[in-house]
Amino acid sequence: MQRPFTIDDIAMNYSSYIALIPLLPLAAFVMLGLLGKQLSRSAGILATLIMLVSTVLACYTAYNYFFVTGKVNGVYPPVAAFHYNWLPFSPGLSIDMGVLLDPASVMMLVVVNFVSLMVHVFSLAYMKGENRFATYYAFLALFTFSMLGLVLSGNLLQMYIFWELVGVSSFLLIGFYYDRPAAVAAAKKAFIVTRFADLGFLIGILILAFYGGTLDFNTLIYQLTATNSSPLTQSPQAGFPGISLLTWALMLVFMGGAGKSAMFPLHIWLPDAMEGPTPVSALIHAATMVVAGVYLVARLYPIYLLDVAVLQIITWVGAISAFLAAIIACTQTDIKRVLAYSTISQIGYMLFALGLAGYGHTTTGYSASLFHLFTHAFFKSLLFLGAGAVIHFVHTNEMLEMGGLRKWMPVTHLTFLIACMAIAGIPPFAGFFSKEEILLAAWENNRYVFLLALITSGITAFYMFRLYFSIFWSRTRSYPHQHGEGSWTMKVPLVLLGTAAVLVGFIPFADFVALDNQKEITIPLSFSIAPVTIAIAGIALAYLLYYKYNPGPQKLALALGGLYKMVKRKFYFDELYLFITKRIIFDGIAKPAAWIDKHLVDGFMNGAGRATARFAESIKAWQSGRVQSYALYFFGGIIALAALIVYWWT
Amino acid sequence: MMSDFFILMKQELVITVIIFILLLLKIGADLSNEKMLQLANALLLLNLVLGFIGNRPGVLFNEMFLANPLVVLEKNILSLGTLIISLQSSAWLKKHDHVPEFYILLLCTLLGMFFMISSGNLLIFYVGLELSSIPLAAMANFDLGRKRSSEAAMKFIISSAFASGLLLFGISLVYGATGTLTFSELGALIAGGPLQTFAFVLLLAGFAFKISVVPFHLWTADVYEGAPVAVTSWLSVVSKGSVLFVFVSVLYTVFKPIAGSWYNMLFVLSVLTILTGNLFAIRQHNIKRFLAFSSIAQIGFILVGITGSSQLAAASVVYFVLIYVFSNLAAFGVIALVSAVTGREQLNDYRGFYRTNPVLSWVLTIALFSLAGVPPTAGFFGKFFLLLAGAGKGNYILVTIAALNMILSFYYYLRLVKAIFMDVNEQPIEQLSIPAYSKLALFICITGIIVTGLAGYVYDYIHSLSSKF
Amino acid sequence: MLLSALIILPLLTAIALLFCNGLRQVRVLALSGAVVQLIYVLWLLVVYWQQRPAGDAAAILFEEDHLWFTPLNIHYHIGVDGIAMAMILLTALVAVAGILVSWSVEKLNREFFFLLVLLSLGAYGFFISLDLFTLFFFLEVAVIPKFLLIGIWGSGSKEYSAMKLALLLMGGSALVFVGLAGIYFNAPTAAGHTFDLLQIARAAIPAEAQKLFFPFAFIGFGIFTALFPFHTWVPDGHSSAPTAASMFLAGISMKLGGYGCLRMALLMPEAAQAYSGIIILLATIAIIYGAFATMMQTDLKYINAYSSVSHCGFVLLGIGMLTKTAIMGAVLQMVSHGLMTALFFAAIGMLYDRTHTRQVAQLGGLLKVMPFIATVFVIAGLCSLGLPGLSGFVAEVTVFMGAWQNEDALYRIATVLACASIVLTAVYILRAMGKVIMGPLAGTGSLGDSLPDAGWNEKLAAGILITGILVMGITPFWIIQLISG
Amino acid sequence: MNEIPLTHILFLSTALFFIGMYGLFTRRNLITMLMAIELMLNSVNINFVAFNKYLYPDKLNGVFFTLFIIAVAAAEAAVAIAIFINLYRNHRSIDVEETEQMRY
């Protein structure tokens, strides 16, 4: 694998404006943060306009990268547009703030900007009348900035920095309704769980950086892939018995990714994160931030390719997450939670697609995964925005309290249907193509995974349409407050995303985003039969159970009994974590630590003081006040000294 | 020859003259207390001034009486202390009806100390010692009506008589072993035989008694508590200082040959002294008694310095005594004023002192900090150099013990500071008007505390003088 | 003379304070003094940049050397290198902020500001002195003002805390003294015995002497910077102290210890090498155990005090790792923690002034009532949990990077444990934040949500510190250049 | 010519010294204690004279010293008695056990 070169003259025609793409939202954040109060209503519009500019720039960059610069001898070269030596540790080792353009990052650039813009527009209506309206947009801008920085970063620790920043902005946005205890708890949970994962990420970075001798992605990849003499690859030494340092490093880095992408068993924060405003969920917890884990693994893919074991772990983590999340999604009644679990499930797809290369047959999973990431961004954000519109209309998250909404909100209904089709993998919607590629990769590499994925896709179709039917069909209710579907600012994003969800599937994605030496992906029509049929079966089942309101579902639930309950309670993961934190961390470690400090360490100091005082009290009789005893002691002293001289020092 | 006599013994002569003047005044015209105090203070000031001019080194009466710059300086330090004390005690003496006697006795002791300091011979040394201690007993009794005062005097006279008895026994043994009483000759003859060493122990005990080294210290607290404040401060500063000067010179010259054994003794004694002083000081309630024990601890630190047995050590001791004069007298100045006006001498009486007397509180606090050795007060430098001198011998165990004991001493000094600044008190000491004399005295002390440390050349000067060690 | 001004200015301010009375005069004087000092320090920084040979952070500038005690060869020798410069800057910033937050101290205000200024004076002197004697001198100068500040103006069991602090620090300086004496007599310099840092550094101290005296000096200084298990003065002292004093204590005074430890480690490299294992052990314990102890605290000031124990552990960790990067990280952590914890204490003080409670359980949702203070609180918290863009991250990641360069397996484990603290910190910070700032409103008493938000002085104070934090967090390269070329 | 050897005299003086010390430790009447001290001083005198006569007869240091001691002892006794009288005025007794107000 030859040194990925960076062509300066290419770099030239980006560096001028490319930095603006993330910096504009930052500017918006600072502006709104400082003088949000003054421009209350116009704050949103301002932020949205800035986002628009940034999006246009992003698209122009993409155009520039893919079509103007184009391929250089067969591949799209990674371009380090520019970098600034931000925090030098030691010669060679430093955090550089830079911009690294390669197909993946450019693709993400577009996605993040576009979705973010849509959310900005949507929120104009959705968040109208919030008293912290400006703050909301400030946080949105902050998040967009951080996400873009993450996407563009060309340096491990730069990525970590923005990784943390997206984490904190997600914390702020989840906790936006800060006076709701539930929201606060969810925000804390999200931050701490991801922080725990980031610990792994950080240590992984330390290992990689130390042995790679650099933090820069390109150089790092070159160092580790080119030279096999790198101490990382030689297994046990310095590492933990049996497992090579490389494995450790990659697993730890993946741990970070798994945390952000809410993979089992670190997924617990994502469903709770739905406490945040719905557009936020659409942006952060569906389209962009949660896929950061996938993006991270993709970034370091050449290194991951060195270590089969980790890739296989990734595969199974992804596959299992996809499956379990899908099952849980079937039992949830809070529409946002359903979507959250479906998000987990879909990201599971992306991750195991990446991992599949571990079985060493084909590496097509890479572009498949990123393709799914790409399409998923559109239809999932669409779903969330649709859900947002619905919630905005009915003022509840409970699907059981909905039904027949198609009458009142046709646009939402239509777009939502499209999105459901897309996620269920019905041709010709976007989801179909990406999912097909993933399934194909699975088929080529590991049949078990393929099987699991197939079943999951069926379940996906089922629960999505369960959702769809119970919102828009089922029994028709009357809603007290009959205001319309919502202003155009809410409709436009839905429509735009809808069209995207229809069209993006036709993009020959693999031509743009692929590994350097990857073979063409061609899906034989015959292959598509099984998935599609299964998807349709799922839809059919959903139709039977939920098209008209009937007692069927309850019966089914009762029939399944304990199983149903276990799934409904999300396999008791939250309880498990609660036990670990409360019983083990707090009661088990922290309480004793505090006790020791108060009673042993501190007690020792005070005890020493008291002991001295008591000793002083005990010898006071010496000073008896009798002049004769004084004289006696005097004489005794002389004798003692004489004795000392005689017997000790001679 | 005759001129020699007048020049070398100038300071002693001046004191003698002053004593006689006071005596005649006492017999003849009876002046009012104010007048008498003015006169006395004026004379003491004169004495101090005269002490600085026209000195030169030399010896008299075949080496019985030595005079050299260091000795002169030491004497001047003592005269300074005397002046300050007399200024401070004016508030108390005003109401007393034996002012001249007080000064006569005071000056007699001072005279004795002078002789002791410049003694070149055990005989003169003994006479000086007695002359400096016997009148002191009488002074301790100067609050004639108070039980405690007379008790203190009794304890002091008995103990000191006993001590001097042992000292004499030691001297007699030295004489028996060497056949001479002159320091210079002794220095050559001392070889460290058992008899000599035992004799030395007795001598050491004699010194240790005067500077109240544990276990020869037991009289200190009671006498300090019982005696009038003026006498207490005199005891704790001037008499102690004088004996220290002699002690150092005798150790470093006469007993140099047996330095090994007395080094070990001082090691033990210093540790004992610091510990005991601190431990007892922790739980005192009477402020004079408290200062007595704290001064014992101070002596311990000085001993640590003395173990260094070098020019550095000698200089540091003299330097420390100078600083000690300022710090301790500043403290005693405030206490004297308070007890003279209100008669309150308990530590608890000082609770909330800052509310009523901010100035006095700051003076007392600075004095305490200087005693505790907190920069930028001079006490810090004094202690630092003492311990450094001690460390010079390479005995870091001793230095560590001493240094860690600073924590203890810190504790009780800060306890008083806490009482002054932080505690609340329903009937605090009322607001006091500081008489001019005390003002002057306190001013001298505080400037001393500030300047002596920060101005490096003071130490340099003393160091240059103590070159003979 | 350039550098002596750093001592002379506060001295003059202090003396002037004695002669003016009335809160108005006093605080204006104190503030103007501090501000002038800050400006002067900034100017000095500029001069330093210009004069210093490029990339040489070890270069000592503005040297002054006067013989002080001839017989002992003690000098008044001052000068600054990059590290000292950074610490001075920190001191100046915190000093101004501290004076600002104690704008309306009611009782004995003259003495209060006098002591504050004296404290800062001690810090300045300490950081600029190149002679171990003056170093020790200023170290102790700074002890007594702490005692009085806590004891007189403090809250809670103030006397106890003040006494504890004074005694432990006294013990620390006693140990330091022994160490210094050992260095003095054992450094084979050309000029005989000397306290001069540079000369001692040039003439290497014999290894066995180092091994004998390094522990004294290091533990002694360590006590000042909350070395486990001598950290017990930190929680009580900080939480009893008045706001400004807490800021000075945690922001400046604890740094004296770290700086001293650093100097000692550089002065006695062999010994530092020999003992680094123990240092690392203690530091790691402090980090983890401090963090866990913090989780169980219910009083905001205790939370911050214990977290200071944990954070100062990073300083010692960095020093103990003995790699260039790690030591750089230690210095960064000193500066960062100084600013951050000062800000935190300031925020807590502001909350306390209004709600009259520091119990987490009794507070809640204050973001609604006092958005500014709440924001300050949040920023301080985020900085303390090492959020990128704020100073904390820069310092910690540097320490980690440097620590990891030490290849010993056990040291690696220590590093990993230290890394774990980023999670623990997040836990306790978010718990406190979630309860006090977010959630339903509580603790505002009868006033309800009519409690006033920060006044101009508090805003200014917070602004200064936040600026420092942001500048360091967003553009760390210049301070890195400052301290390590 | 049977001359008394020095040792005998030294024995005497030492015995006298410790008798005096014993008296000081045991007697409760202050006057008696003072007398005991005088005993000790006298033993010292004997020492000096003896040493002077037997060992260093050429000079008279010892004898002079003795004279001084006697003089000083007299002065000491005078002051001591004065103090005791005052003590008696205050305490109505010169029993050493009575004077233990100040202790600890």
* Residue that is written with structure tokens 């091994």 in the block: C211
Q: Which one, of B86, B120, B126, lies nearest residue B104 by Cα?
A: B86
Task: Say if residues A156 and A258 touch (Cβ distance below 8 Å).
Answer: no
| Separation of alpha carbons C108 and C420, rounded Å | 45
The token pair at C69 is 């005690």
| Separation of alpha carbons A154 and A194, rounded Å | 22
Residues on chain B touching A620 (C-beta within 8 angstroms)? 280, 283
Q: Which one, of A24, A19, A18, lies nearest residue A48 by Cα?
A: A24
pLDDT band with cut points at 50, 70 and 90 for residue C132: very high
Task: Say if residues A457 and A324 touch (Cβ distance below 8 Å).
Answer: no
Q: Which one, of B13, B222, B8, lies nearest residue B110 by Cα?
A: B13
3-class DSSP assignment, residue D57: coil
| Separation of alpha carbons B191 and B256, rounded Å | 10
Mean pLDDT (whole number) for C89-107: 91
Average pLDDT score, chain B: 92
Determine, for residues A601 and C419 on separate chains, whether the beta-carbon distance falls below 8 Å.
no
Per residue in B214-236, is it b (16+ CB within 10 Å) or e — as a string? bbbbbbbbbbbbbbbbbbbbbbb
Q: Which one, of B176, B171, B288, B156, lies nearest residue B223 by Cα?
A: B156
Task: Say if residues C275 and C308 touch (Cβ distance below 8 Å).
Answer: no
Who among D96, D101, D103 is closest to A628 (CB)?
Answer: D96
Greater model confidence, B437 or C189: B437
Instruction: Classify residue B422 by its DSSP letter.
Output: T
Selected residue of A641, A649, A650 to mutate for chain B interface (largest B Cβ count, 10 A)? A641
Residues on chain C touching A202 (C-beta within 8 angstroms)? 397, 400, 419, 422
Per residue in A414-451, is it b (16+ CB within 10 Å) or e — as a string? bbbbbbbbbbbbbeebbbbbbbbbbbbbbbbbbeebbe
pLDDT of residue A233: 55
Per the DSSP assignment, residues forming a β-bridge with A216 are A155
What are C420-448's pLDDT values in tens digits? 999 999 999 999 998 898 888 887 776 66
CB-based contact, C231 to chain B, within 8 Å:
no
Element (H, E) at C62: strand C61-69
Helix pair C207-224, C269-295: axis angle to 10 deg: 20
Who among B127, B179, B289 is closest to D68 (CB)?
Answer: B127
What are B184-231's pLDDT values in tens digits? 899 888 887 888 888 999 999 999 999 999 899 999 999 999 999 999
Residue length, chain A?
Answer: 650
3-class DSSP assignment, residue B181: coil
Answer yes or no: pTM beyond 0.90.
yes
Mean pLDDT (whole number) for D15-40: 93
Chain A residue with Cα closest to B194: A646
What are A286-323's pLDDT values in tens digits? 888 999 999 999 989 988 888 888 999 999 999 999 99
Who among A621, A624, A631 is closest to D24 (CB)?
Answer: A631
pLDDT of residue A482: 64
Who among A619, A635, A637 is closest to B279 (CB)?
Answer: A619
pLDDT of residue A649: 64
Determine, for residues D61 and B147 on separate chains, whether the beta-carbon distance falls below 8 Å.
no
The letter for the amino acid at A585 is I
Q: State the Cα angle at A379 between A376 and A381, rounded to 5°.
A: 95
Ranges of residues in chain A whose predicted pLDDT is under 70: 1-16, 227-242, 480-483, 516-520, 649-650
What are C67-78's pLDDT values in tens digits? 999 999 999 999
Q: Is the dihedral of CA D43, D48, D49, D54 positive or negative?
A: positive
Helix pair A335-355, A447-472: axis angle to 10 deg: 160
Selected residue of B218, B275, B278 to mutate for chain A interface (largest A Cβ count, 10 A)? B218
Task: Say if residues C401 and A212 touch (Cβ distance below 8 Å).
Answer: no
Residues on chain D touching B109 (C-beta within 8 angstroms)? none
Domain boundaries, given as residue ranges, for chain C: 4-484
Instruction: Classify residue B58 by its DSSP letter.
Output: E
| Separation of alpha carbons B119 and B183, rounded Å | 9
Say what percent of chain C tops pLDDT 90.
Answer: 69
Selected residue of A644, A645, A648, A649 to mutate for chain B interface (largest B Cβ count, 10 A)? A645
Who among C68, C162, C174 is closest to B407 (CB)?
Answer: C174
Determine, for residues B380 and C67 on separate chains, whether the beta-carbon distance falls below 8 Å.
no
* Cβ neighbours for C19, distance < 8 A, ≥ 6 positions apart: none
DSSP assignment of B262-284 equals: HHHHHHHHHHHHHHHHHHHHHT-
Helix pair C109-128, C82-101: axis angle to 10 deg: 170
| Separation of alpha carbons C169 and C223, rounded Å | 7
Question: CA of A253 to nearest chain C CA: how many angstroms apart?
Answer: 14
Q: State the Cα angle at B323 between B318 and B326, rounded to 5°.
A: 135
Question: CA of C249 to nearest chain B CA: how many angstroms apart?
Answer: 19
Residues on chain B touching A614 (C-beta within 8 angstroms)? none
pLDDT greater than 50 at residue C331: yes
In total, the C-beta contacts within 8 angstroms joining chain A to chain B are 80
Determine, for residues C405 and A90 on separate chains, whether the beta-carbon distance falls below 8 Å.
yes
Q: Is A177 exposed, middle or buried (0-12, 13-18, 19+ CB in 10 A)?
A: middle
Cβ count within 10 A of residue D11 = 11
Residues on chain A touching D29 (C-beta within 8 angstroms)? none
Subunits close to B (at least 3 CB pairs below 8 A): A, C, D
| Separation of alpha carbons C329 and A89, rounded Å | 9
C-alpha A353: how far from chain center: 17
CB-based contact, C185 to chain B, within 8 Å:
yes
Determine, for residues B459 and C71 on separate chains, whether the beta-carbon distance falls below 8 Å.
yes
CB-based contact, B186 to chain D, within 8 Å:
no
Instruction: Classify residue A216 by its DSSP letter.
Output: B
The token pair at C212 is 């004998």
* Cβ neighbours for A582, distance < 8 A, ≥ 6 positions apart: none
Instruction: Classify residue A100 by its DSSP letter.
Output: E
* Residue that is written with structure tokens 């070169």 in the block: A5
Domain boundaries, given as residue ranges, for chain D: 6-98
Determine, for residues A627 and B159 on separate chains, whether the beta-carbon distance falls below 8 Å.
yes
The token pair at D4 is 């008394």
CB-based contact, C159 to chain B, within 8 Å:
yes
* Residue that is written with structure tokens 């004095």 in the block: B367
Q: Is C322 exposed, middle or buried (0-12, 13-18, 19+ CB in 10 A)?
A: buried
pLDDT of residue A236: 45
Radius of gyration of chain A (CA): 31
Give Cα separations from B167 to A147, A425, D70 (angstroms).
Answer: 90, 112, 15
| Separation of alpha carbons A284 and A32, rounded Å | 20
Determine, for residues D83 and B171 on separate chains, whether the beta-carbon distance falls below 8 Å.
no
Residues on chain A touching D103 (C-beta within 8 angstroms)? 623-626
Task: Say if residues A106 and A66 touch (Cβ distance below 8 Å).
Answer: yes
| Separation of alpha carbons A509 and B130, rounded Å | 112
Q: Which one, of B196, B202, B201, B197, lies nearest residue B178 by Cα?
A: B196
pLDDT of residue A1: 33
C-alpha A386: how far from chain center: 22
pLDDT of residue C472: 93
Mean pLDDT (whole number) for B426-443: 91
Q: Around B1, how many Cα atoms within 13 Å sit in the side-chain half-sphere?
A: 2
| Separation of alpha carbons C97 and C103, rounded Å | 10
**Pairing verdict, β A93-101 and B58-60:** unpaired
The token pair at A175 is 């906790």
What are C215-257's pLDDT values in tens digits? 999 999 999 999 988 999 999 999 899 999 999 999 999 999 9
| Separation of alpha carbons B72 and B56, rounded Å | 9
Q: Which one, of A238, A293, A288, A249, lies nearest residue A267 by Cα?
A: A293
pLDDT greater than 60 at residue B304: yes
Mean pLDDT (whole number) for B390-404: 90
| Separation of alpha carbons A447 and A457, rounded Å | 15
pLDDT greater than 90 at residue C179: yes
Q: CATH number for the D6-98 domain, one of 1.10.287.3510, 3.40.50.2020, 1.20.1250.20, 1.10.12.10?
A: 1.10.287.3510
Q: Which one, of C241, C265, C441, lies nearest residue C341 by Cα?
A: C241
Determine, for residues B158 and D69 on separate chains, whether the beta-carbon distance falls below 8 Å.
no
pLDDT of residue A481: 66
